[in-house]
Amino acid sequence: VGEPGAERTLFEAWLPGTLCVLATSDRQLVGGRTPIAGMGGSLVGTLLRIDMRTGETVAVPGGSRSTYDLAWDAGRAVLYSLGVDAGNDTVLMSHEGPGFENDRVLNRQEGEDLSASLALDAGSGIVLTSQSAGVITVWDGGAEGAIPCEGRVPRQLAAAEGVLASVNRDATLSLWNPSARRFAADLYLLASGDWCLAAASGRWFATDGAAALVRVSVDGSPGSDATSWRQER
């Protein structure tokens, strides 16, 4: 690990089985890992705190059997993890305290789902996970809910303030409103660099290169004029 634009190495660490790493401060990294047979793997230590100045690593007790995705809410000082527990269920957990020693299971999905994904809307504190059944689960700090996916199967999630993006199983890209818990639009990217955004309202936005390819259907029947649904930027 090194400083941006610098060649000086801050520290080096060999951490077998590490699946994800993020920074929780300018001094500390947290890593999620899966124990490796024959290398001291156990339920203890699937989360690691790493001091970026000394290189020291400290295992965080508890947690999942394997941790493969992390999100850090800096404003609320809460770490979220997605992993697999001892019963082979997929679990979303929160971790709080100076050493993240206080953990809690927020959501449990039956079965091991290694393709699930975790995202955080830092502005609202909403935590979102994708699941193999084609569901986006929402945790708002007090209750669990879901965003209807309407036939889409979100896999990889990424969030910015007020917007959630998902790469779906069929390689399409969708946008969602996490606070309102509803679908917002599908975004189609072409090899030419052109794009088309099809909003939930039926209106669409597109570059000129993509506009010629747009077809509109109304109640299952082809629309007579796709341009009448076009929204200018």
pLDDT tens figures, 116-170: 899 999 888 999 998 767 789 999 887 788 888 888 889 899 998 889 999 998 8
Answering whether pTM is above 0.85, one says no
The two most distant CA atoms of the chain are separated, in Å, by: 67
Q: Computed over its alpha carbons, how large is the radius of gyration of the chain?
A: 21
Q: 233 Cβ partners below 8 Å, 6+ apart? A: 205
205: β partners: 197
Handedness of CA 155, 37, 109, 79 (dihedral sign): negative
